[in-house]
Amino acid sequence: MRAIEIQKEAISWKSKLQDYNQLIKFRLTFTVVLSAVLGFLLGNQGTINYQDLSALILGGFLVVASSNGINQIIEKDFDKLMSRTANRPIAQQRMSILEAGIFCAVTGIIGVSVLGLFLNTYAALLGFASLMSYAFIYTPLKRVSPVAVLVGAFPGAIPPLLGWVAATGGFSYAAISLFLLQFFWQFPHFWAIAWILDDDYKKAGYRLLPSGGRNKASARQVIIYSLTLIPVAMLPYVFGMSGWISMLLVVFASLVLSIYAFRLHKSLSNADAKRLMFASIIYNPLTLILLLIDKL
């Protein structure tokens, strides 16, 4: 009997951990923190301060986890309506709003505090701004207007900037170029996702494609923002962050992403939207890594 009870407890703990993994969207949180770490490495001069880097990873992870959890609290009734999100813990009432709320409040407060106490005030302010704007501005806007993608691009572009500020203690034109690169990347990335999931999103009343659906007008918007990445990719070189080799490689990556956008415009197919989505997933960390080449 004791063995059976232990087995049930293990299963219960495993299920609870899986629920928290879903609540914080672990894979998404990991990729966001990776962007911050790469921004830190780009801004770092000389020997790496591993205490600062650890504080960035911990504080950033907690802030993003809190943001994702609050997002699910707000959207619990709409998550039930979509196939992609129907099994989330709050939507299925495996986790109460009170439990999720306490978790998000604690992780958010600790995350911002870690950024402020162990790094600097600017890092804490950026973390707080990203949390509040993502959870309380972007999230409600998703059911109101496609402008939500524009609003969400601001907190989404903060991670590499946060990493830079954590390493340097301040802002610069080079740091702003990282912000802009991440900012404009989000449009082809999230619109590709919205294109694929448009039918599912409509079940919950989300309006994310720029022209209301899978049409030429929406695809043109994807092209415009993809092409904008090409001149933006030159800014790190202009502001002295990288050399010309890194610049050419990042420009080439931006050009390839734009080609996938043109293919989507031509076919208006989910298959090409998926190709664009995967290309954009690769593009984000790849460009930041390419910018590090001149520091090796």
Global pTM value? 0.91
pLDDT for residue 177: 95
pLDDT digits (tens, 9 = 90+) for 243-280: 899 999 999 999 999 999 999 999 999 999 999 999 99
pLDDT for residue 240: 87
Domain ranges in the chain?
A: 1-169, 172-296
Q: Which CATH class is domain 1-169?
A: mainly alpha
Half-sphere exposure of 64 (CA within 13 A, CB side): 26
pLDDT digits (tens, 9 = 90+) for 72-102: 999 999 999 998 889 999 999 999 999 999 9
CA distances from 104 to 99, 222, 262 (A): 9, 33, 40
pLDDT for residue 293: 87
End-to-end CA distance of the chain: 59
CA distance 76 to 94: 12
Mean pLDDT by groups of 10 residues along the chain of 296 residues: 52 84 94 96 92 97 97 93 91 94 97 97 97 94 87 95 96 94 96 93 87 90 97 94 92 97 96 97 95 80
| E strand segments, the chain | none
